[in-house]
Chain A
Amino acid sequence: MSGLESLYQELILDHAKNRRGFGLAAPGARSATVHQRNPICGDEITLRVELSDDGERVASVTWEGAGCSISQSSASMLVALLQEDGGDEGMAKADVEALIAQFREALRSRGKVPLDEETFADAAALSGVSKFTARVKCAMLAWVALEEGLRQA
């Protein structure tokens, strides 16, 4: 696989076109809305996270934004991952925080720490991004927004 193809896998291009969780849900009792932007390229995201009544689980994540295919697909993959692994009641907040930390570690590893498919599902396709240091911020954008949202919600 060439460098370019390892970066832009089919899955990434597909998520960038069919964005999961795109369109903000109406704000709820336990929601937080976060705006993040990448000052280098102007990419931006507005992400809304809704917690369960007890504040322990992530009930829903929706977002809006514009940016490159890496930032868009990464946001989409994050939502897909939370939906698949969280099921109806949603993933535990602590688990989501751990996932974000693990994702960050892999992306900052310059290709040394891969994202495993078992844990990250489609988002594992973003492993290739870690070799392109200029693009790491693009892939992190939605995850950083969610991290901030969990702090605020």
Chain B
Amino acid sequence: MSLPFDVAAVRADFSILETEIDGRPLVYLDSGATSQKPRAVLDAEREFLERANSAVHRGAHTLAAEATELFEDARVTVAEYVGAEPEQLVWTSGATAGLNLVAGSLGYAGRLRAGDEIVVTEAEHHANLIPWQELAARTGARLRHIPVLDDGMLDLHAAADLIGERTKVVAFPHVSNVLGIVNPVAKLVTLARGVGALTVLDACQSAPHLRLDLPASGVDLAVFSGHKVYGPYGIGALWGRDEVLESLPPFTTGGSMITTVTLDTAEYLPPPQRFEPGTQPVSQAVALAAAVRWLGAHDLDAAHAHEAALEKRMREGLRSIDGIRLLGDADAAERVALQAFEVQGVHAHDVGQFLDSRGVAVRVGHHCAQPLHRRFGMTASVRASAAIHTTEDEIDTFLDAVSGVRGFFGAGA
């Protein structure tokens, strides 16, 4: 049963939103970096630790059984959130770990050789770029990229030319963490499938804002981070198709992922346990399940409509301020409420400091996407990213603050 969408009620679940910055109410527009966590998530983690904490998948005592059950129930809940089966969901410490797992495992498996190609995009977060650089360097494969057009959209003509018979992997973001644009997953999947390449989706910026059905999306593997979906730090997930996960050897190895071990050899459990060596982030998994349950208790269609209205207000507001250059300003694109921009004549760091003095928290810098910033001829930008709890008034406070920046710094005077 879902609740009618009421942003005031949503906000009441986040104590941190009552914070004041120098006497002004906090306007948190940095959810793209990390989301705030509702009370239900904090309660779930504490309750687990106070009542059920124990080592999972071992031990015959009551608590061990209870902890294992909660841990595996969490897997079911989080898998459901992305439309998947629990056996397809591997716990990781976050998206970065998930992507390193995939790239590393493909390397171990000898699935790439000199002459093969890995295709990424120019809009990649470093986490979905550097593991592929490393894999290319170690295997002799060539790393290529799909260019980003001036309006922030991927150049699909170039993609069609780039993705060919040498392509073994196509990795791309569902939503760029700088541009906020939802990339055409189905089109890229079609191109990749046409040449038998594996597709890897970075779903970090879509998981908190869009309904995901990973199996239906056509991709082979996908990752996201818990801390951006209103969940705790230190937990994330890798999703993969059964046959794809089955085909991958373990990347990190150790306890809990084996069946039989001798001094010379080991046999491994099937996925997902094959990829989960050592002690798992159990309380974090339980809390992440609480996060997606909390999210799912709302009318998500209404919540998404709310976020879409915020996106429009933010982008149109920024456009109407003099001296603002938006990164990724394609009208045609489907987007999430995340917008990076430059204030001409004022460095991003200074903009962020000025906004902070108005209580507005934004991200400044390259947002772990240096190649994309270089493509737009800058080293740093300002990024505002909203969440389910953001209000229209907060967007207005943000816009009002942005419109004061150039005057304060004497830019364009």
Chain A residues proximal to chain B, CB less than 8 Å: 2-4, 7-8, 13, 17, 40-44, 66-70, 132, 135, 138
List, sorted by A's number, 8 A–B pairs whose CB atoms are closer than 8 Å.
A2-B357, A8-B350, A13-B410, A41-B364, A41-B380, A67-B349, A69-B350, A132-B353
* Nearest 9 Cβ contacts at the A-B interface: A42-B379, A68-B349, A68-B347, A4-B357, A41-B365, A68-B350, A69-B350, A42-B380, A41-B349
Q: How far is the CA of A135 from the CA of B347 in the complex (A)?
A: 13
The secondary-structure label for the interface of chain A is mixed
Chain B residues proximal to chain A, CB less than 8 Å: 22, 346-350, 353-354, 357, 364-366, 370, 373, 379-380, 408-410
Q: How far is the CA of A17 from the CA of B380 in the complex (A)?
A: 19
Q: Chain B contacts of A42 at CB under 8 A?
A: 365-366, 370, 373, 379-380
Closest CB in chain A relative to B342 CB, distance in Å = 13
Indicate if the CB atoms of A3 and B366 lie closer than 8 Å. no
Known contacts: A13-B409, A42-B380. The answer to whether A70 contacts B354 by CB under 8 A is: no
Indicate if the CB atoms of B410 and A70 lie closer than 8 Å. no
Closest CB in chain B relative to A62 CB, distance in Å = 21
Q: How far is the CA of A110 from the CA of B350 in the complex (A)?
A: 19
Residue among A7, A17, A44 making CB contact with B353, cutoff 8 Å: A7
Closest CB in chain B relative to A113 CB, distance in Å = 22
Which residue from chain A places its CB closest to the CB of B345 in the assembled complex? A17
Known A-B contacts: A8-B353, A8-B408. Give 20 more (CB < 8 A): A4-B354, A4-B357, A7-B353, A8-B350, A8-B409, A40-B365, A41-B348, A42-B370, A42-B379, A43-B379, A43-B380, A44-B379, A66-B379, A67-B347, A67-B349, A68-B347, A68-B348, A69-B347, A69-B350, A132-B353
Q: Chain A contacts of B357 at CB under 8 A?
A: 2-4
Closest CB in chain A relative to B327 CB, distance in Å = 15
Indicate if the CB atoms of B370 and A4 lie closer than 8 Å. no
Q: Chain A contacts of B364 at CB under 8 A?
A: 41
Q: Chain A contacts of B366 at CB under 8 A?
A: 41-42
Indicate if the CB atoms of B365 and A69 lie closer than 8 Å. no
